[in-house]
Structure 1
Amino acid sequence: MADNYLERKMEEHWRPAPRRCNADARLATAFGCEALCHLRVLVVSADYEAVAEAVRVFRAAGCRTAFTAVGDSRRPGTDFAQRCGARCYPCLQADAQTYGRIAADLRYHWGAVDVVAADADADLPADLKDCPRIDLSDAAAYLDSFSR
């Protein structure tokens, strides 16, 4: 027990800080704080609106989501990624080489990509062709298969 101010301060200094759970840091989903599934999803398309809708669906289910923002401006994709909690990869063109670099970065950060949501005509590299591939419009139907 501290007898004076300095001893009390020294005890507070050496005592470990109490660990608190920050409720705001938990993943908030449309289904509550528990994630529906823990998929790592890459959404690729040149159509920004289709990408945004698919990212919203996957993020609402609690999936880790990365997407491509094809175009000259980085701002819209980056702003959207910050709002929804996804990872944005701005790129000037949509080709297999660009998608290969994105997949390599995701493997480094996440370990692997579980699902690729892409257009039917998207040119994917060889290392992403063995991942399950779904159409952008089928994102909600794909997630419904997990909830049953």
Structure 2
Amino acid sequence: MTIDTQAGTVPGAVPVRRPRSKTLAAWLAFVGGPLGLHRFYLHGLGDMLGWLLPIPTALGLYGVERARMYGLDDGWSWVLIPFLGFTIAGCALMAIIYGLMAPERWNAKHNPQLAPDAAPGGTNWFTIGAVVLALLIGATVLMSSIVFSFQRYFEHQIEEGRRISQ
């Protein structure tokens, strides 16, 4: 006997999981990835990585707040801000991976109870839109984070070199 897990449980019943949509997973990874929403959608609320993703996001947001309060010369801000950027870029990469995954592979991994060519694993224009936006925004955020952190690091090294030489 099987029963939908959303409707309730019957003792001895085998829970049937609702199909996971590749398009929705890609959009959740792109939009809500830094909060772990795509992980919770795909793996449930017990997913540890989903609960850990907000930590670097919060650290990066704290770095942005420190930069706003103390200026860009604040040492902690240029250390913390890239956490946010790399988390956003990593989640954008996951959106791209989800969106480009073959329907057969998607259904085998996330919808094993369905046929390999079932609709939840299919690609449509909304999936392509998520992939394109994730590529655009993710690459921009990644490059900005790398440039910001390296620029601040080298400026710090130059300042330290000046102090030593005086």
Give the TM-score range, shorter chain.
under 0.3
Give the structure with the larger strand fraction. Answer: 1
- TM-score in terms of structure 2 length: 0.24
Give the structure with the larger helix fraction. Answer: 2
